[in-house]
Amino acid sequence: MSAAIEIHTGVTAAGVPFAALPPSVPTAEERPPLLVTWHLMDPPRTEAAFAAALPLRGVPAWRVHLGMPWCGARQLPGGDAEVVERVRRDAVHGYLEPVVDQAVDEFPGALAELRERFPVAAGGPIGVVGGSLGGAVALRVMAEGRVRVGVGAVVNAAVRARSIVGLLEGVTGRPYPWTDASRAVAGRLDFVARAGDLARGETQPPLLVVSGAQDYPDLRTDAADLVAALRGRYADEDHVQLLTVPGLDHPLAEPPGDAPAPQLPTARVVDAAMTEWFVRHLTPGRQRSRSSA
């Protein structure tokens, strides 16, 4: 068991709740790099719970886990019942669009404040991680280029909005009534179609796509399609990798997933793979460190 480390929780950056962990492995840099994550809307569904599921201890960087809108301290007044009601009214405009848009729009301000508050590399490329709908946030941040991203990783990500809508039709019990406006939103949240945006520029940030072998079939297909689309555009195909984790369902923690909990064996596999990925690409040239659990 690793020694306890300091976790900064219960605070916000530009109004966004976060859990921040300083580097827990040796680093020679006075201002190490920054790694930012967005959690799932399923367990683990708060920043502190995600920090426990994927602590990424072996990465010599500050890890800052941001809270997603409508979760944890920012839960809607009606709680989960209100979220379900918004999904029933309109899965795209009532749920997917406002959650992802808010998380993406509030990120630059939160990042600026985090860089002032913690001794992290100023202005350098950051790492990003996202799970499920948080994966859509991470991919949009990478695709839109408002923040310089050096490397990314997603797990069971919402790669295509249409696939998420298909899953949410099980909640509503009826087909979603697509309109021109909702199709436009789905286009912005289709990262297979936006592979050119993810691959543009000279750097082409390395991306690890983790897919649970027991995740929803459509999401597994989307993960494979994303990797195939990016490999056709990346100068170095090895900078885009697909990892399928046996036994991994969609969540990364046991329900309810609001508080930190012991790391599941499947989450430990994801954590180890992402740790290796970020040590290789976010902090190149360092001796790789293994996280202890």
Across 170-179, average pLDDT? 96
Residue 194 predicted with pLDDT over 60: yes
Any domain includes 196? yes
Residue 199 predicted with pLDDT over 70: yes
Q: Which residue range forms the structural domain that includes residue 176? A: 8-281
Residue 165 predicted with pLDDT over 60: yes
pLDDT given at position 283: 74
Model confidence at 7, pLDDT cuts 50, 70, 90, reads low
pLDDT tens digits for 276-286?
A: 999 999 976 44
Instruction: Give whichever of 8-12, 110-114, 197-201 has the largest mean pLDDT.
Output: 110-114
Any domain includes 31? yes
Model confidence at 6, pLDDT cuts 50, 70, 90, reads low
- Percent helix, strand, coil in the chain, to 5, is 40, 15, 40
Spatial separation of the C-alpha atoms in residues 48 and 18, rounded to whole Å: 8
Residue 293 predicted with pLDDT over 50: no
Spatial separation of the C-alpha atoms in residues 50 and 46, rounded to whole Å: 6
pLDDT given at position 106: 98
What CATH number does the domain containing 146 carry? 3.40.50.1820
Model confidence at 251, pLDDT cuts 50, 70, 90, reads very high
Number of structural domains in the chain:
1
Crossing angle of helices 79-89 and 161-172, rounded to 10°: 110
**Among 82-91, 196-205, 256-265, 267-276, the least confident range:** 196-205
Give the tokens for residue 31. 């201002």
Any domain includes 194? yes
In the chain, at which residue ranges do the beta strands (DSSP E only) sit?
Answer: 8-13, 16-21, 34-38, 62-66, 126-131, 149-155, 207-212, 240-245
Burial label for 127, CB within 10 Å (0-12, 13-18, 19+), is buried
Cα–Cα–Cα angle for 224, 225, 231, rounded to 5 degrees: 90
Residue 1 predicted with pLDDT over 90: no
The residue ranking higher by pLDDT, 85 or 200, is: 85
Q: Is the peptide bond before 256 cis (omega within 30 degrees of 0)?
A: yes
List Cβ neighbours of 104 (8 Å cut-off, separation of 6 or more): 137, 140, 141, 144
Any domain includes 287? no
Model confidence at 73, pLDDT cuts 50, 70, 90, reads very high
pLDDT tens digits for 129-143?
A: 999 999 999 999 999
Spatial separation of the C-alpha atoms in residues 189 and 233, rounded to whole Å: 19
Any domain includes 211? yes
Residue 13 predicted with pLDDT over 60: yes
Residue 290 predicted with pLDDT over 50: no
pLDDT given at position 200: 86
